[in-house]
Chain A
Amino acid sequence: MFSEQSSSATPGLSDNGSAVSDKYGAGPPPLTDTDLLEMYRTMVLSRKLDQRIWQMNRQGRAAIVASAQGHEAAQVGAIRALDPERDRFYIYYRELTTMLALGVTPLELLLGFLAKEGEPLSGARQFPLHGAIDRDRRDIVSFSNVVATQLPQAVGVALADKMRGEKRVTVAYFGDGASSMGETHEAMNFASIHRLPVIFFCENNKYAISVPISQQMNIESIATRASAYGMPGIEVNGFDPVAVYEAVGAAANLALSGQGPTLVEAVVERFLPHTSDDDDTRYRPPEDLEGIRDLDPIPATEKILRASGTLDDALDEEIKSLAQKIVNQATEDAENAPFPEPQDFYEQVYAPGSPGDQS
């Protein structure tokens, strides 16, 4: 079929997404300045929380962190085009902003990073940002320590939704590196055959730990693979939250109207090493990062909001200090939380009370 570039060099409300909507029918409703302001708030909060968690790792308090810095605009733009209560989210470990945009609180997230009692995703059993949360209100699932496992599963829940006639979108999040896995191919093929309501959302930060994209694949754009499965592929500038909103909105409309899956590739940058365990100076040439920070989507969005008169010094200061306050409070509460009780250890290996249950 087709693959489309809708990337614009700088974030802006003006020229983004229109090509996508023209091509794929009705796009999502246009964003207002207030929408963008709210997205900006989430990005600011995410960045501050991310910095805090990284700092806590350096102090030996959080075992491991995969930072979302550089991915914020892509993540917040995607969620804006979806319905947190209607849709399903099969995320991977780099989705801090996605989590916040879906309404997971900084405290809930910090309890996860510190593996404390009350950790809502897995009961402190799984890696930070792994598990399942609050399934009555939101369907966020993530088990992908082993990369790409979430893709076939996302396809499966979309299949179940289709079989039951329920109208919702399932989003499968993954990195450029995970796109090399066999499961990625198998999931896309399966979803397209059955026209399942899935959005394959690839956050391409051009590195799989140390391996640059040139050594992962011999193509320029991951979105071009979509044509091999008979589904649309949209490449979008992941530093532009509005462009991502447009692309994901178009994909959601296709999914909800029974036209099947879409592959959306948000091209982003990884501002920090792969995880807190990594030292990227070993493999990442300095020129690679040079200039990238100048494109940081958070100050870029700030600029747009100021230009449209939506944001002034006072409001910006308020947003930033409020975010810092929230992060500080969450840090304090998470640190004061106890570790899980030893008796929790045997729980939930099996259904409570079923033969084999050792708890």
Chain B
Amino acid sequence: MTEITFRQALQRGLREALDADPNVFLMGEDIGKYDGAYAVTQGLLEKYGPDRVRDTPISEAAFVGAGVGAAVAGLRPVVELMSMSFSLVASDQIVNMAAKIRYMSGGQLKVPMVLRAPTGGGVQLAATHSQSFENWYASVPGLKVVTPSTPYDALGLLRSSIEDDNPVIFAENALLYATRGDVPDAEYFVPIGVADVKRTGTDITLVGWAHGIVTLMAAAEKLAETGVSAEVVDLRSLRPLDMETVIESVEKTGRALVLDENWRTAGFGAEIAAEIGYRSSDYLDGPVARVSGTDTPSPYSRPLEQLGIPQVAWVIDEIEKTYGI
């Protein structure tokens, strides 16, 4: 095992994939000499050359569309977007094309493309750079949506995503890049669509994904101080969605809280809460508790911005309010 950052884990995943398969190549804005907006592709241009690490013009529709085409032609493009917000410029290619080409061709064509994008807010990048559209993409049949929270998961899931024969939206919460964790020294894969119990407990199940897991782990730590034993379930991917692991945990603890850092209304947290309620209401001591980001665009001013991001205290308060523990 070696301790590395989330960013280094992604970079190692890209290296391993580039080494393993000559069909893999990278494409995106400023991923060459600039190392990518969050330095994930550092050193890759030098090692793999400009054919396999391609800087693009600022034209998301063109290079995501070109990624779809290259994938259909048999390559395995890993396309980097500078921000999940910019995926909207390419959303026609993603939603109308990448997600449906297999279906619309009766299985004759496939789109083994990975679309990596930093996502989330909290670093004063303001309204049009601080968004998470993972939940939108998770509602589209044909796409897979991967949302790792640790270096271990980031590396293993990235390898699986690149080998997957379906288009994968790989969401990298920008607050995670500098976080650290252990990864095995040997190559490994983490399967897409399998949730992970990040902490075991008996009193309440806390469900989340990506950066939300950092908040939930801290909340679980805090709850332990008052004698509440919380279990933390990390979804790891929103589509396919592993509800079995969630349900198993909820039926054990009898209480559930879902944390969705994104907007509350029609957020992915609502889907999880509804599913838990539908499947496990007999086991629950009360309604499914919900914590989410506020229904506002993300403001630039730091004190205002912080008002919209779920904090540990929100989780503790919501549990107290819902379950009285």
Q: B295 near A: Cβ within 8 Å?
A: yes
Contacts of A339 in B (CB 8 A): 301-304
Contacts of B308 in A (CB 8 A): 345
Known: A210-B32, A211-B30, A282-B34. A125 touches B59 (CB 8 A): no
Least CB distance from A344 to B in Å reads 7
Q: A216 near B: Cβ within 8 Å?
A: yes
Within 8 A of A (CB), among B206-229: none
A63, A177, A178, A208: the one contacting B300 at CB < 8 Å is: A63
Within 8 A of B (CB), among A62-99: 63-64
Q: A127 near B: Cβ within 8 Å?
A: yes
B34, B59, B88: the one contacting A181 at CB < 8 Å is: B59
Is A181 touching B89 in the complex (CB atoms < 8 A)?
Answer: yes
Q: A115-B300, A122-B300 are in contact. List 17 more A-B contacts (CB 8 A).
A: A124-B299, A125-B297, A126-B126, A145-B128, A145-B129, A180-B57, A181-B58, A181-B60, A181-B89, A182-B62, A208-B29, A208-B57, A211-B29, A211-B30, A283-B33, A339-B301, A339-B304
Q: B55 near A: Cβ within 8 Å?
A: yes
Least CB distance from B85 to A in Å reads 7
Least CB distance from B39 to A in Å reads 10
Known: A282-B34, A283-B33. A344 touches B304 (CB 8 A): yes
Least CB distance from B93 to A in Å reads 11
Q: Mark B124-142, 1 if CB is under 8 A from A, else 0.
A: 1111110000000000000
Known: A182-B59, A217-B57. A125 touches B35 (CB 8 A): no
A119 to B302, CA, bound (A): 14
Q: A143 near B: Cβ within 8 Å?
A: yes
Contacts of A146 in B (CB 8 A): 85-86, 88-89, 128
Q: Mark B31-72, 1 if CB is under 8 A from A, else 0.
A: 011110000000000000000000111111110000000000
Contacts of A119 in B (CB 8 A): 301
Is B301 touching A180 in the complex (CB atoms < 8 A)?
Answer: no
Contacts of A181 in B (CB 8 A): 58-60, 89
Contacts of B127 in A (CB 8 A): 125-126, 145
Contacts of A182 in B (CB 8 A): 59, 61-62, 89
Known: A125-B301, A143-B128, A146-B85. A210 touches B62 (CB 8 A): no
Least CB distance from A70 to B in Å reads 19
- The interface of chain B, by Cβ under 8 A from chain A, is 29-30, 32-35, 55-62, 85-86, 88-89, 124-129, 294-297, 299-304, 307-308
A346 to B301, CA, bound (A): 13
Contacts of B55 in A (CB 8 A): 210-211, 215
Is B126 touching A125 in the complex (CB atoms < 8 A)?
Answer: yes
A349 to B57, CA, bound (A): 33
Q: For the complex, count residues of A whose C-beta is within 8 A of B.
A: 41
Is B33 touching A125 in the complex (CB atoms < 8 A)?
Answer: no
Is A345 touching B57 in the complex (CB atoms < 8 A)?
Answer: no
A145 to B127, CA, bound (A): 9
Q: Is the interface of A mostly helix, strand, loop or mixed?
A: loop
A340 to B299, CA, bound (A): 11
Q: A358 near B: Cβ within 8 Å?
A: yes
Contacts of A126 in B (CB 8 A): 126-127, 299-300
Q: Is the interface of B mostly helix, strand, loop or mixed?
A: loop
Contacts of B85 in A (CB 8 A): 145-146
Q: A130 near B: Cβ within 8 Å?
A: yes
A51 to B48, CA, bound (A): 39
Q: Mark A111-145, 1 if CB is under 8 A from B, else 0.
A: 00001100100101111101000000000000101
A177 to B34, CA, bound (A): 15
Is B34 touching A346 in the complex (CB atoms < 8 A)?
Answer: no
Is B59 touching A180 in the complex (CB atoms < 8 A)?
Answer: yes
Within 8 A of B (CB), among A214-259: 215-217
Is A178 touching B58 in the complex (CB atoms < 8 A)?
Answer: yes
> In this complex, what residue of A is CB-closest to B126?
A127
Is A282 touching B303 in the complex (CB atoms < 8 A)?
Answer: no
Is A283 touching B34 in the complex (CB atoms < 8 A)?
Answer: yes
> In this complex, what residue of B is CB-closest to A62?
B124
Within 8 A of B (CB), among A153-191: 177-178, 180-183
Is A216 touching B126 in the complex (CB atoms < 8 A)?
Answer: no
A151 to B57, CA, bound (A): 17
Least CB distance from B31 to A in Å reads 9
28 residue pairs A–B, Cβ–Cβ below 8 Å: A63-B300, A124-B301, A126-B127, A126-B299, A126-B300, A145-B85, A146-B86, A177-B58, A178-B58, A180-B57, A180-B59, A182-B61, A182-B62, A208-B29, A209-B29, A210-B30, A211-B34, A211-B55, A211-B56, A215-B55, A217-B57, A278-B34, A282-B33, A282-B34, A339-B302, A339-B303, A342-B303, A342-B304
Known: A124-B304, A182-B62, A209-B29. A345 touches B124 (CB 8 A): no
Known: A345-B307, A349-B295. A124 touches B128 (CB 8 A): no
> In this complex, what residue of A is CB-closest to B130?
A145
Least CB distance from A153 to B in Å reads 14
> In this complex, what residue of B is CB-closest to A115?
B301
Contacts of A143 in B (CB 8 A): 128
> In this complex, what residue of A is CB-closest to B82?
A209
Q: A147 near B: Cβ within 8 Å?
A: yes
Is A210 touching B301 in the complex (CB atoms < 8 A)?
Answer: no
Which of B34, B57, B62, B299 has the most C-beta atoms of chain A within 10 angstroms of its own C-beta? B57
